Amino acid sequence: MANPAYTSSSADKFVVRLPDGMRKAVEELAGDNHSSMNTEIIRAIEAHLAGQARQKLLLDALQAQLIAAQTPAREQPQQRQAESDYLDGLKTGTR
């Protein structure tokens, strides 16, 4: 999260409207963690985005398994290699 080129004056700014009570909850969380409200909000957004990425990987893997289960045995080795290459690409960030 720490970026040496990042400053509060150079950062993107975005106004967020919070539901009743949420500001107080974020404020208390920040106090408990000895951090700022901004830090806690950024952490929450980062965690959500990471969860979405993990969910997509899992769904893609499940879909690949479903396709493999439905593919005739003679076609599976090539299919499995393609799926393995795809997952390797996701892990290395080349896909």
Domain boundaries, the chain: 22-92
Q: Which residue has the tokens 């960030």?
A: 93
Query: pLDDT-derived band of residue 76, with 50, 70 and 90 as boundaries?
Result: low
pTM (2 decimals)?
0.59
CB 42 within 8 A of CB 8: no
Residue 49 exposure: Cα atoms within 13 Å on the Cβ side: 6
Query: pLDDT, tens digit, for every residue of 16-65?
Result: 999 999 999 999 999 999 999 999 999 999 999 998 998 998 898 899 88
